[in-house]
Amino acid sequence: MADFVETTSATLVPSRPRAASIESRGSWIAASAALALLSVSYGSPLLVIVGLKPITEDLGTARQMVALAGALTWLGTGAGGILMGWVAERTSIRFTVIFGTVMIALGLAVSAIGNIWVMLVGHTLLVGLLGNGALYPPLLVYVSRWFDRRRGTALALISSGQYIAGMAWPVLFEHAMVDYGWRATMIGWAVVMLIAIPPLAFLFLHRPPQVPTSFFREGTAEERRVVLGLRPNVVLAILSIAGFCCCVPMSIPQGHLVAFCSDVGIAAATGAAMLSVLQAAAFLSRMLWGWLSDRIGGLWTVLLGSVCQAFAIAAFMATQDEAGLFAISAAYGLGFSGIIPAYVVAIRELFPAREASWRVPMVLFVSMAGMAFGGWFAGALYDHFGFYAPAFLTGVIFNLANLALVGFLVLRQRWGGGLRPYPA
């Protein structure tokens, strides 16, 4: 499907002339439909982020408990991706997307009418595991099968749905919660999802094209046993742990920025606008990261994005000034946005295409566990210390661990001959 490539110590060099591309107008229709679907579905985890303080006060609980609901949504999404990726392979992407939408709507409705424990269950099992888990990971694999030459760009495009949601919905949710309360806002968003997503999925999500046999090369027995000079599952484990470490710092500004602003005397509406700026910057830069990953490969893109994220997460400890935080939020969005799609590109480069349906969700699951842990742990640190500086410092430490792991794989790629010539 993708270029068969070998790496020298300096660059990626095509190993032979490639077959005709499978990309078509239908490929971009599928990618655009996935982008629209994720732009709506990613509004669901934002509700507890924007409503962190009012939900905490209304339910009379600790901030870390409400943050845990958002965190477990990410964990459930990752775990659900493994299950629903398997279901999508045996049914259809339409079925999983429509099923997931119904589960998200049910989870929001259940969370809105219950206490904190009902919210935790609703967000973990319904909004996360059976809901967003049926959309995001399966859609990544689905769209990757429509592309061979511009896969990184396409994956960056559809992953931008998270940032479109982040730009469009926080301010709307903030106003709705002020006017109608957080419970009515959750139920209202459930209705919006049920109206918007199923028709789009039914009309635009078709089966991806059959791949010509000329795209495939099984490789020798030795190639199937070795990736970057290591056993394939060892490389997968390193990628997964690296994903966990990069998603811990990734989750902290996204999950706590509105509350952080409120704590330092900045209005909640301004904090929501700051979150929108962060997501807007991420959206604008994500296509650049996708273009870059098509040219330098997934591992190098992960490494560069992680360096940018490390500097930005450290900068949050440097100021509590409103203008400064707007600037840092924008810089943070520019830095971290290409990391997760680049992991998918790296997996598709390193492993056979037939293994994508379980290797991609596995790495996403561990990565989203990092999102879950980071979001919860930041809330726990806040409850203990009463301010967010320890949380941001923790993010820097995890980011440095990610750089060490990804840097190790990049060095193996350069020294050991690089990527296997598998279809990506």
**Which residue type sits at 58?**
D
CB contact at 8 A, 305 and 342:
yes
CB contact at 8 A, 306 and 339:
yes
Instruction: For 372, list phi and psi in degrees, rounded to 5.
Output: -65, -50
Structural domain contains residue 1:
no
Q: CATH no. for residue 199?
A: 1.20.1250.20
Q: Measure CA 33 to chain center.
A: 17
**pLDDT value for 211:** 62
The total number of structural domains in the chain stands at 1
Structural domain contains residue 17:
no
Any bridge partners for residue 227, and if so which? Answer: 230
Q: Scanning the structure block, which residue is given the tokens 């010539």?
A: 421
The model's pTM is: 0.71
Structural domain contains residue 9:
no
Question: Cα separation of 124 and 48, whole Å?
Answer: 13
pLDDT tens track of the chain, all 424 residues?
A: 333 333 333 334 344 445 577 888 889 999 999 999 999 999 998 899 888 888 998 998 887 788 888 878 888 888 888 888 888 888 899 999 999 999 999 999 999 988 899 999 999 999 999 999 999 889 988 998 888 888 888 888 888 887 788 778 888 998 999 999 999 999 999 999 999 999 999 999 988 887 654 444 445 555 557 888 889 999 999 999 999 999 999 888 877 887 888 887 888 788 878 888 887 888 778 788 888 888 898 899 999 999 989 998 888 888 777 888 898 888 888 888 888 888 988 988 888 877 877 888 889 889 888 887 888 888 889 888 888 889 999 999 999 999 999 999 999 988 765 444 444 4
Contacts of 312 (CB under 8 A, 6+ apart): 328, 331, 332, 334, 335, 336
Question: Cα separation of 332 and 277, whole Å?
Answer: 10
Radius of gyration from C-alpha coordinates of the chain: 21
Domain that holds residue 232: 24-207+222-415
Structural domain contains residue 12:
no
Query: Residues 45, 51, 53, 59: is their CA dihedral positive or negative?
Result: negative
Structural domain contains residue 152:
yes
Structural domain contains residue 304:
yes
Which of helix, strand or coil describes residue 424? coil
Structural domain contains residue 422:
no
**pLDDT value for 212:** 53
Q: What is the DSSP string of 162-174?
A: HHHHHHHHHHHHH
Structural domain contains residue 420:
no
